[in-house]
């Protein structure tokens, strides 16, 4: 509201669901705007006419007190003034009323009149009135948040409504309880969305009906649409329209891009640990399950669906992921200094070992591509090779004297040596901002299994035989081969050395594949 006039345009119709009437008074310009719940219309009169009208309806026992309190000299210009009184209602009976009054600059006043229940205001609003009031408050807050006009009239009106809301909540426990409950529901529904990705509209509709009372539902007919939605709302969110996606239902078989394409995208963007992905599938084959769970999905559900169970599982998963995200954010905030230190340490390591890492990556790629082709294995070679450079990032955590005298060190000193791969795996989380989820997983496996052996005599966990994946054996062979070839040119000698470690350090199948490619490596 400005100095020259009162702005009534922002008074929403729903205000009159709560208030019996709304009065906006501009004493300086002798204008009074009356808005009534009877018809929703506004009526403009003079201040004198307004006072005369009030005299006809205020109960005589309350008249003197009322008119004294609405005097400008008596009204508190800092807070909202609350006046309880009795007046004549439209049904020609005297009823309890409350006026909430706020005075603005230039002697402008807004009065909102609330009809109390028959039992008296001391006991608070009725449950139904409290619910209506709570709904109204939520709606008004939404209106306030969306007002972009900087005009002083708008700002003053918004300020008034905001103060009124706070006053209503502070003075009415019933409204406060309803408000808190409704806010929880609205926040969960408005700011938490489920993305349903399935080319079958029937399946999408079923899931929508099950969850739409709790969440906003976003639908995608194929993986490509899903990726666009995730890109817009998660990767590069637009603050005006962003949906907070807290979970995804994902079909595997779809046109344009299938579910595995979406999983690959999410793994690359490191999203699978941020929100639960539940696979929808009619395929219960063991191979499919193994392939799906390799992506660290939250769950896989098969047709026919038991939605009561699904609902509970999904809600529990979403809650668990949200708590995990909050904890991880706290850790990230607290670990900034440590992160800088570790990043500097790792960058130095990568520079110092760049030459040997280039050779290892080249040899490993040859071995891994041959293995993948011959066995039709689901390996992302590029991601895997890019992770190899971290294989020994924590080596400097071991005193050099321990390594040089490994046979004579004490048990405690030996524990330090055998535990250093675990330190390297822990370091990855501090340098992983630019790494995909899959690359992180590959890097941790390589670091922790670089010193494991086929015969179980390695460390840190004493893994053996099939406990160690074939691609790890091949990477370890590439590391040993590259280290040797860095200072030698005798290919045949290193081939014989590695061959002699078949069934002790390396899986015989890995050694056989290496030997078959010795000329390519040379």
**Which part of the chain is CATH 3.30.450.20?**
15-185
Contact 92, 142 (CB under 8 A): no
Q: What is the pLDDT of residues 396-411, one digit of tens each?
A: 888 878 877 777 888 8
Domain 15-185: which topology?
Beta-Lactamase (3.30.450)
Name the least confident of 110-114, 117-121, 301-305, 387-391: 117-121
- Measured from the Cβ of residue 493, the count of other Cβ atoms closer than 10 Å reads 11
Taking residues 324-348, report their average pLDDT. Answer: 70
* pLDDT at residue 249 is higher than 90: yes
CA atoms within 13 A on the CB side of 393: 29
Mean pLDDT of the chain: 80
Element containing residue 278 per DSSP (H, E):
strand 277-281
Q: Where in the chain is the domain with CATH 1.10.3210.10?
A: 337-521
Give the DSSP letter string of 36-51: ETTT--EEEE-HHHHH
- Position 120 scores a pLDDT of 39
Distance CA 174, CA 383 (A): 57
State how far Cα 500 lies from the chain centre. Answer: 52
466/451 Cα distance (integer angstroms): 15
- The total of other beta-carbon atoms located within 10 Å of residue 230's CB is 23
How does residue 94 score in pLDDT terms, banded at 50, 70 and 90? confident
| Distance, C-alpha 433 to centroid of its chain | 17
Report d(CA 224, CA 259) in Å as an integer.
9
Dump pLDDT digits (tens) for 175-219.
777 777 666 655 555 568 899 999 988 889 888 888 888 888 999
Residue with tokens 């976003």, as numbered in its chain: 218
Range name among 89-93, 137-141, 315-319, 330-334 with the lowest pLDDT average: 330-334
Q: What is the mean pLDDT of residues 92-98?
A: 83
CA gap 493, 477 in Å, rounded: 14
> How far, in Å, CA of 137 to CA of 179, rounded?
8
337-521 folds as: Hypothetical protein af1432 (1.10.3210)
Which residue intervals of the chain bear CATH 3.40.50.2300?
A: 192-334
Beta-bridge mates of residue 416:
none
Token reading at 160: 């008034």
- What would the two tokens of residue 371 be? 């293995």
For residue 373, what pLDDT band results from cuts at 50, 70 and 90? very high
Overall fold of domain 192-334: Rossmann fold (3.40.50)
DSSP, collapsed to helix, strand or coil, labels residue 347 as helix
Q: What is the pLDDT of residue 4?
A: 37
Q: Does the global pTM surpass 0.85? A: no
């Amino acid at each position: 509201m400005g100095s020259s006039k009162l702005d009534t345009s922002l008074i929403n119709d729903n205000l009159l669901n709560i208030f019996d009437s709304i009065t906006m008074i501009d004493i300086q310009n002798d204008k009074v705007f009356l808005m009534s719940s009877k018809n929703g219309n506004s009526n403009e009169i003079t201040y004198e006419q307004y006072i005369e009208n009030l005299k006809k309806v205020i109960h005589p026992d309350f008249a003197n007190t009322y008119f004294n309190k609405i005097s400008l000299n008596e009204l508190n210009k800092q807070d909202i003034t609350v006046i309880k009184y009795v007046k004549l209602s439209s049904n020609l009976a005297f009823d309890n009323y409350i006026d909430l009054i706020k005075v603005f600059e230039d002697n402008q006043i807004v009065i909102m009149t609330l009809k109390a229940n028959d039992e008296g205001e001391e006991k608070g609003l009725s449950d139904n009135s409290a619910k209506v009031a709570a709904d109204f408050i939520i709606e008004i807050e939404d209106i306030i948040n969306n007002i972009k006009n900087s005009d002083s009239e708008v700002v003053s009106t918004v300020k008034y409504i905001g103060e009124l809301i706070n006053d209503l909540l502070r003075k009415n426990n019933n409204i406060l309880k309803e408000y808190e409950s409704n806010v929880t529901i609205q926040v969960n529904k408005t700011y938490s969305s489920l993305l349903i990705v399935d080319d079958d509209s029937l399946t999408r509709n079923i899931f929508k009906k099950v969850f739409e009372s709790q969440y906003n539902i976003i639908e995608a007919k194929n993986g490509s649409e899903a990726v666009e939605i995730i890109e817009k709302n998660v990767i590069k969110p637009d603050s005006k329209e962003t949906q907070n996606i807290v979970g995804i239902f994902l079909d595997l078989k779809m046109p344009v891009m299938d579910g595995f394409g979406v999983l690959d995208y999410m793994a690359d963007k490191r999203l699978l640990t941020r929100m639960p992905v539940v696979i929808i599938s009619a395929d219960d084959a063991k191979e499919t399950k193994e392939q799906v769970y390799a992506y660290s999905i939250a769950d896989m559900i098969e047709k026919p669906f038991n939605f009561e169970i699904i609902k509970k599982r999904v809600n529990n998963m979403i809650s668990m992921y949200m708590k995990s995200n909050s904890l991880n954010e706290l850790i990230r905030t607290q670990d900034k200094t440590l992160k800088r230190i570790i990043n500097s340490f790792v960058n130095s390591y990568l520079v110092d070992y760049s030459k040997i890492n280039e050779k290892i990556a080249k040899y490993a790629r040859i071995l891994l591509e041959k293995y993948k082709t011959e066995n039709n294995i689901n390996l992302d070679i590029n991601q895997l090779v890019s992770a190899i450079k971290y294989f020994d990032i924590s080596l400097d955590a071991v005193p050099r004297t321990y390594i040089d005298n490994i046979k004579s060190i004490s048990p405690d000193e030996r524990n330090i040596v055998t535990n250093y791969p675990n330190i390297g795996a822990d370091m990855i989380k501090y340098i992983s901002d630019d790494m995909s989820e899959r690359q992180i997983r590959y890097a941790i496996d390589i670091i922790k299994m670089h010193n494991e052996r086929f015969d179980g005599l390695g460390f840190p966990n004493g893994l053996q035989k099939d406990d160690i994946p074939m691609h790890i054996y091949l990477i370890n062979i590439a590391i040993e081969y590259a280290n040797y070839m860095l200072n030698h040119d005798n290919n045949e000698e290193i081939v014989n050395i590695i061959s002699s470690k078949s069934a002790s350090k390396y899986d015989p199948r890995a050694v056989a594949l290496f030997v078959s490619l010795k000329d390519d490596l040379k």
